[in-house]
């Protein structure tokens, strides 16, 4: 572990071994740990250790831990994940319009509107708008997004229903029943007909794509060499499929 700031004032508290300090802090809840970190820089360093926040994070929604305790987001501090989870749970947010465009109806004379799907990846926000996916760069000062997209990924004839961003690839399902795969930093792309109706959900991992559709089927697709776009398995369901995922533990 990195050494704490050396400028902290001397105190009998720091005569205790670090293991004992961490044990004492392990009895604190999230609110108490947050308040402890406001006392001084050294306590902020100590109270921000992932070791202290793992127990709390496992009880939070979408904190990056599975039920078995596996960490799926090792590069993000656990304390920050707990903060995001708590803000999500209590509806805390900063209300600000960063982009605005006209709504597009899914079908003529329909009162249903297709909401945009978005994913944040590092310095870019990927956002579906009609049949395209656009990548907007975040402003360095944190004030919002740049007005013009840095990249546009196209390929669908109708609106993008859902997309997923995995390992520098974008996999999207559209209202045209097609699945499109783009490599973010390159010109490589693949498009194939997947379902008879719109593709409501997709997921991608390794050499596999899974998809679900309004046509009441879920399918598994191959992306291995020589078998790109080949359907490996079809699951017939009794209703439309709205959500699908590949287990991250596979």
Residue 192 CB-half CA count within 13 A = 15
What share of the chain in percent tops pLDDT 70?
A: 88
**Residue range(s) of every CATH 2.130.10.10 domain in the chain:** 118-236
CATH C-level class of 118-236: mainly beta
- 177 contacts: CB under 8 Å, gap ≥ 6: 193, 194, 195, 196, 197, 198, 199, 213, 215
Q: What is the pLDDT of residues 92-120, one digit of tens each?
A: 877 777 777 665 545 554 445 567 888 98
| Residues carrying CATH 1.20.1280.50, the chain | 12-90
Q: Are 99 and 136 in contact (CB under 8 A)?
A: yes
pLDDT of residue 138: 87
- The rounded radius of gyration (Å) of the Cα atoms in the chain is 23
Spatial strand order of the sheet with 132-137 comes to 118-121, 124-129, 132-137, 151-153
Helix, strand, coil share of the chain (percent; to 5): 20, 30, 50
Over range 195-213, report the average pLDDT.
Answer: 93
How far is Cα 232 from Cα 229, in angstroms, rounded to an integer?
9
pLDDT band at 11 (very low <50, low <70, confident <90, very high): confident
Give the mean pLDDT of 232-237. Answer: 95
What is the predicted pLDDT for the residue at 111?
44
Determine the Cα–Cα distance for residues 199 and 96; give it in Å rounded to an integer.
31
**CATH class of segment(s) 12-90:** mainly alpha
- Centre a 10 Å sphere on the Cβ of residue 147 and count the other Cβ atoms it contains: 9
Give the end-to-end CA distance of the chain in Å, rounded to a whole number: 31
Average pLDDT value for residue range 215-241: 92
214 near 224, Cβ under 8 Å? no
What pLDDT, on a 0 to 100 scale, did the predictor assign at position 9? 54
Q: State the average pLDDT over residues 43-60.
A: 92
H/E run at residue 53: helix 50-57
Q: What is the pLDDT of residues 120-158, one digit of tens each?
A: 888 899 999 889 999 999 888 767 788 889 999 999 999
In the chain, % of residues over pLDDT 90:
51
């Amino acid at each position: 572990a990195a050494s704490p700031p050396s400028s902290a004032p001397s105190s009998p508290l720091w005569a205790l071994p670090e293991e004992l300090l961490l044990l004492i802090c392990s009895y604190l809840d999230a609110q108490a740990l947050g308040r402890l970190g406001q006392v001084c820089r050294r306590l902020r360093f100590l109270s921000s250790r992932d070791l202290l926040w793992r127990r709390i994070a496992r009880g939070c929604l979408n904190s990056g831990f599975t039920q078995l305790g596996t960490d799926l987001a090792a590069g993000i501090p656990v304390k920050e994940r707990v903060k995001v989870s708590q803000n999500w749970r209590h509806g805390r947010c900063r209300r600000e319009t960063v982009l605005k465009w006209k709504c597009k109806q899914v079908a003529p004379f329909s009162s249903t509107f297709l909401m945009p799907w978005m994913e944040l990846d590092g310095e870019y926000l990927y956002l579906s708008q009609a049949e395209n996916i656009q990548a907007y760069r975040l402003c360095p000062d944190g004030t919002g997004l740049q007005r013009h997209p840095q990249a546009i990924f196209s390929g669908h004839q109708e609106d993008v229903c859902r997309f997923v961003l995995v390992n520098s690839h974008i996999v999207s399902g559209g209202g045209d029943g097609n699945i499109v795969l783009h490599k973010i930093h390159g010109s490589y792309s693949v498009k194939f007909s997947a379902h008879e109706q719109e593709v409501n959900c997709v997921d991608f991992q390794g050499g596999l794509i899974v998809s679900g559709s309004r046509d009441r089927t879920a399918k598994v697709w191959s992306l291995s060499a020589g078998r790109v776009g080949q359907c490996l398995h079809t699951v017939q369901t009794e209703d439309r499929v709205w959500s699908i995922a590949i287990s991250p533990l596979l």
